[in-house]
Amino acid sequence: MPSYEPQASDKFTFGLWTVGNIGRDPFGEPTRAPISPPELLRLLAEVGAWGVNLHDNDLVPIDATPSERDRIVREFKATLAETGLVCPMATTNLFSDPAFKDGAFTSNDARVRAYSLHKTMHAIDLGVELGARVYVFWGGREGAESDAAKDPILSLQRMRDALNFLCQYCLDQGYELRFALEPKPNEPRSDIYLPTVGHMLAFIETLEHPAMVGVNPEVAHEHMAGLNFMHAVAQAWDAGKLFHIDLNDQLFGRYDQDFRFGAAMLRQAFHLVRFLEGVGYAGSRHFDAHAYRSADYGDVRAFARGCMRTYLILREKAQQFAEDQEIQALLAEIHHQDDEFADLDQGYRRETAQRIHRRAFDRHALAARPLPYERLDQLTTELLLGVRDG
Ligand code: GCO
Ligand code: MN
Ligand code: MN
């Protein structure tokens, strides 16, 4: 029986805000006492995580003085060194403080937009100081409840201006940082601009430094929109834009759940892991999830271990899928080689066009070709249920 112990090479990371979540929800007060960032690092090291990510204010309170900030950061760096954890990603909290009640970069108030740049530049400095190479932008409040209040074109322009400004700031400082934009369709706003991975990918191409900018897709966010997360990730990968990923779980049509990875839609999680491992995704596998509100810190540890363990079990299942002779024989049958059309993947050529233009096709023969997807999918189910183990 494999141990499913996480290794550094798995690049499993958690946000300070994930294991540090205190179980507050819109209807109820916290169920867990807060624990300090150094204690959270020790918890993460104990469960076997490789790294930690943070918002500026997960570590440094928003009202800290410069000398308090320096002391907190010094202590945190010492605990990183003590635990061996790395900090590969950082981000800005542009949603908690009431100043951001109408968003940050898209706020209708120019002073709020300027403050957002100020706060993000400081947070970028902090991230770089901690060794981050990816900087995430989640525009939680970049949206609206009333379309009478905010202009979507102007908001997109403001978002673009802010990202151009901050890309240029990083270039100016000589920071080697890549930006990963994280779409979400709603919550906490009624509608958030750039709601899905597809929207974000299109938007990135309108920036001044598109090569510096990619996406940070999150399972829960595409599920909230009723979309296939793996397909979104595949499109990001195809565009060379999968800079980071937020793993958690979420049922369609529910509130923003942030469940433990694989807790709700296991088949989707399997195909996602099979995809990531298949293409050789080499970035962080970041869990942006939190334990149930009913959990104590013992159960929070079980939650964190569970995220990683499920990923590793699904990775093994993906390997099994790739080695299963019956499954592979079915796949070979489905993707059978057709020599007459082998040149189709070389794109347009006049001869190919003329040949295909002239050729007669037997539609009935095409339609009669068997596609044993039922058998294939049932074998996948049985593999996941553990009844195909040799
Ligand atoms: C959410 C988001 C956030 C972001 C985080 C990092 O739904 O609240 O997923 O957790 O990922 O702010 O930018
Ligand atoms: Mn989320
Ligand atoms: Mn997220």
Confidence of residue 53 (pLDDT cuts 50, 70, 90): very high
Please give the distance, rounded to the nearest whole angstrom, from the Cα atom of residue 81 to the centre of ligand 3: 26
The reply to whether ligand 1 has any atom less than 6 angstroms from the CB of 246 is yes
What is the mean pLDDT of the segment spanning 4-11? 98
pLDDT digit string, tens, across residues 211-228: 999 999 999 999 999 999
Beta strands in the chain (DSSP E): 12-15, 51-55, 86-91, 134-138, 143-144, 178-182, 191-192, 213-215, 246-247, 285-287
List all residues 6 or more positions away from 364 whose beta carbon is below 8 Å from its beta carbon.
none
pLDDT digit string, tens, across residues 33-46: 999 999 999 999 99
The answer to whether the CB of 60 falls within 8 A of the CB of 26 is no
What is the mean pLDDT of the segment spanning 182-210? 98
What is the mean pLDDT of the segment spanning 106-133? 98
Confidence of residue 385 (pLDDT cuts 50, 70, 90): very high
- Which residue's CA is the closest to the ligand 1 atom numbered 9? 288
Q: DSSP state, 283? A: S
Which ligand 1 atom lies nearest to the CA of residue 256? 7
Class of domain 8-322 (CATH, top level): alpha beta
pLDDT of residue 389: 75
Q: Is residue 93's pLDDT more than 80? A: yes
- Which residue's CA is the closest to the ligand 1 atom numbered 3? 138
What is the mean pLDDT of the segment spanning 274-297? 98
What is the mean pLDDT of the segment spanning 227-254? 98
- Which residue's CA is the closest to the ligand 1 atom numbered 12? 138
Q: Is residue 1's pLDDT more than 70? A: no
Give the SS3 label for residue 86.
Answer: strand
- Which residue's CA is the closest to the ligand 1 atom numbered 1? 140
Confidence of residue 323 (pLDDT cuts 50, 70, 90): very high
Which ligand 1 atom lies nearest to the CA of residue 288? 10
Please give the distance, rounded to the nearest whole angstrom, from the Cα atom of residue 136 to the centre of ligand 3: 9
Q: Is residue 390's pLDDT more than 60? A: no
Q: Where in the chain is the domain with CATH 3.20.20.150?
A: 8-322
Compute how many other C-beta atoms are within 10 angstroms of the C-beta atom of residue 293.
Answer: 15
pLDDT of residue 64: 98
Please give the distance, rounded to the nearest whole angstrom, from the Cα atom of residue 288 to the centre of ligand 1: 7
Q: What is the mean pLDDT of the chain?
A: 97
Which one, of 181, 163, 180, lies nearest residue 171 by Cα?
163
pLDDT of residue 3: 86
Q: Is residue 15's pLDDT more than 80? A: yes
Residue 16's identity, in one-letter code, is L
For the sheet with 12-15, list strands across it: 213-215, 178-182, 134-138, 86-91, 51-55, 12-15, 285-287, 246-247
The reply to whether ligand 1 has any atom less than 6 angstroms from the CB of 222 is no
pLDDT digit string, tens, across residues 161-174: 999 999 999 999 99
- Which residue's CA is the closest to the ligand 1 atom numbered 4? 138
The reply to whether ligand 1 has any atom less than 6 angstroms from the CB of 182 is yes
Mutate to test the pocket of ligand 1, among 18, 93, 182, 249 (most ligand atoms within 8 A of CB): 182
Please give the distance, rounded to the nearest whole angstrom, from the Cα atom of residue 140 to the centre of ligand 1: 7
Q: Is residue 99's pLDDT more than 90? A: yes
The reply to whether ligand 1 has any atom less than 6 angstroms from the CB of 91 is yes
Q: Is residue 348's pLDDT more than 80? A: yes
pLDDT digit string, tens, across residues 144-190: 999 999 999 999 999 999 999 999 999 999 999 999 999 999 999 99
pLDDT of residue 277: 98
Give the SS3 label for residue 310.
Answer: helix
- Antiparallel, parallel or unpaired: β 246-247 and 134-138: unpaired
The answer to whether the CB of 34 falls within 8 A of the CB of 22 is yes
The reply to whether ligand 1 has any atom less than 6 angstroms from the CB of 138 is yes
User: What percent of the chain is predicted at pLDDT more than 90?
Assistant: 97
Which ligand 1 atom lies nearest to the CA of residue 258? 7
